[in-house]
Structure 1
Amino acid sequence: MRVLCSSTLIGEFFVIGFAGLVAMKDDSLEMSTVWTVCGIAMVLSVLLCGMVTRPGGVQLGWVLQLGLVAAGFFVPVMFFLGAVFAVLWWASVHYGRKIDEIKAGWAAREGSAGPDAA
């Protein structure tokens, strides 16, 4: 799960940065506010890469996904991109857990076979 979720979060890191560049063009938004919010979200996405398997990591990832969708109120294309990344996040968590279960099953079979099995 860690690899899939981290890949999604790193992709979001870049999308958040590019959304910040687009938001800078909006005259109603302060540049310092745009980069403070984008910077916090970018740092959170990188920090979450290491926290995914810890308690609350997946839930914080969902908070980030909601923030990306909500960013659509300032950069309209983020409604679409936020939804895409929310689906990617769901898939990363869902299929990542399945992969982890399969790996654990293989490891259990290899461990129970013992050294004389070969």
Structure 2
Amino acid sequence: MRRLCAVMLTLQAVVTLLAIPVAISVAHADATTAGAVGGVLAVAGLLIAGLLRYRWAYIAGTVLQVLVIATGFVVPVMFFLGVIFGALWVASIWVGRRVEGAHPR
């Protein structure tokens, strides 16, 4: 489960970084603010991916999903991408638990 969730958070960090130029050019957001918010969210995703050996990191990952969805108020397409990554986050946890719970036959 940890590997699957870590990959998902890493991919989300890449998408979050790619949303920074979109926020600046399309949504006309302040470059400093967009860079800071996007950078912090991306780094947080990478840090959480590395800390998934702790149970609390999964809660932090869930909070991160909500924050990424909230960036949709600046870049509306992030509502869609945030929901997609939120669903992938839930699916990663669900599938990971099923795989860990399966006993070899």
| TM-score for the superposition, normalised by structure 2 | 0.92
CA distance in 1, matches of 2:53, 2:21: 31
**Residue in 1 aligned with 2:60?**
60
CA deviation after TM superposition for structure 1 residue 47, in Å: 0.8
Which runs of structure 1 show a deviation greater than 2 angstroms over 4 or more consecutive aligned residues? none
| Structure 2 residue 4 is the aligned partner of structure 1 residue 4 | yes
Superposition map of 1:64-83 within 5 A: 64-83=64-83
The alpha carbon displacement at 1:42 in A equals 0.8
CA distance in 2, matches of 1:10, 1:97: 20
Taking only aligned residues, the RMSD between alpha carbons, in angstroms, comes to: 1.3
What is the one-letter code of the residue matched to 1:61? G
Unaligned runs of 5+ in 2: none
Higher relative CO (Cα under 8 Å, sequence separation at least 6) belongs to 2
The residue type paired with residue 45 of structure 1 is G
Structure 1 residues without counterparts, runs of 5 or longer: 110-118
**How many residues align structurally?**
104
Q: Which residue of 1 aligns with 2:43?
A: 43
1:90 is matched by which residue type in structure 2?
A: V
In structure 1, C-alpha distance between the alignment counterparts of 2:93 and 2:21, rounded to whole Å: 29
* 1:94 and 2:94 matched: yes
Q: Specify the SS of the correspondent of 2:55.
A: coil
AA of the residue aligned to 2:22: V
If you compute each CA radius of gyration, which structure gives the higher value, 1 or 2?
Answer: 1
Q: Deviations over 1:23-74 (max 9, x none)?
A: 01133x2211111111111111111112123021111011110011111100
- The 2-side partners of 1:66 and 1:11 are apart by 16
- TM-score computed with the length of structure 1 as normaliser: 0.82
Residue 21 (structure 1) shift: 1.2
Code of the residue aligned with 1:48 in structure 2: it is I
Q: State the identity as a percent.
A: 37
